[in-house]
Amino acid sequence: MAAIEKVKVVVLGDSGVGKTSLTYLIAHNKPLMSPGWTVGCSVEVKLHRYKEGTQAQNTFFVELWDVGGSNGHRNTRNVFYQPTHGIILVHDLTNRKSQINLQKWLSEILNQDNSNPNQLSSVEVDSEQFLGSTQIPILVIGTKFDLAEEKQRKNQYRRLASSIAEQCGADELFVNSHQPR
């Protein structure tokens, strides 16, 4: 039997956007009925069979590192970032500020050697420089799709052109964490 490779995916976003519900849904394929606040970090795991039934099939042990979004712990979050094999940036579709803040989250994880965490708020992601500087896959997920009003949903699609997902060449999904698919 071949060894199972381990993959670490860091899940980042503001406090309350639904990271815990999302990671639980991915790991267990069922909704988390009463999520709590994450202090520090919480890890969910999943055995993923990649391209099962083909010659390229492989099995991965995926760790989903749900990093707490509280600003009070910003100075210590970087201990959870290395090594990282993938990043999921999460925002709440009913909270525009949480999408805007994804820029700060991406800057925080990419500039973790930066000795002054207060500088992160002024860091912009240069998409041309970014695309050539990292090989880490990024996925952007908008949560609480079920709570977003129809008008908000349409605006979300229009804003895609200016979203962080397009800036860093990532895919973006909108999900309802109460419905497994």
Domain boundaries, the chain: 5-174
More confident residue, 139 or 158: 139
Report the sign of the C-alpha dihedral through residues 24, 25, 26, 29, in that order: positive
Whether residue 143 is predicted with pLDDT greater than 70 in this model: the reply is yes
- DSSP per-residue letters across 95-136: -HHHHHTHHHHHHHHHTTT-S-GGGGGG----HHHHHHH---
User: In this predicted structure, what is the pLDDT of residue 152?
Assistant: 61
Whether residue 154 is predicted with pLDDT greater than 50 in this model: the reply is yes
The rounded distance, in Å, linking the Cα atoms of 9 and 67 is 10
pLDDT, tens digit, for every residue of 13-47? Answer: 999 999 999 999 999 999 998 888 888 899 999 99
- Report the share of the chain in percent with pLDDT over 70: 78
What six digits make up the tokens of 35? 């999520």
99-115 average pLDDT score: 82
- Mean per-residue pLDDT of the chain: 82
Residue type, 155: N
User: In this predicted structure, what is the pLDDT of residue 115?
Assistant: 43
pTM of this prediction?
0.82
Cis preceding linkage at 35, omega within 30: no
72-79 average pLDDT score: 86
User: In this predicted structure, what is the pLDDT of residue 121?
Assistant: 44
DSSP run (H or E) holding 25:
helix 19-28
The rounded distance, in Å, linking the Cα atoms of 65 and 84 is 10
DSSP run (H or E) holding 66:
strand 58-67
Whether residue 118 is predicted with pLDDT greater than 90 in this model: the reply is no
More confident residue, 153 or 58: 58
Domain 5-174 falls under CATH 1.20.210.10: no
109-124 average pLDDT score: 56
> Whose CA is closest to 15, among 72, 65, 63, 64?
72
The rounded distance, in Å, linking the Cα atoms of 151 and 68 is 30
User: In this predicted structure, what is the pLDDT of residue 101?
Assistant: 93
Whether residue 50 is predicted with pLDDT greater than 90 in this model: the reply is no
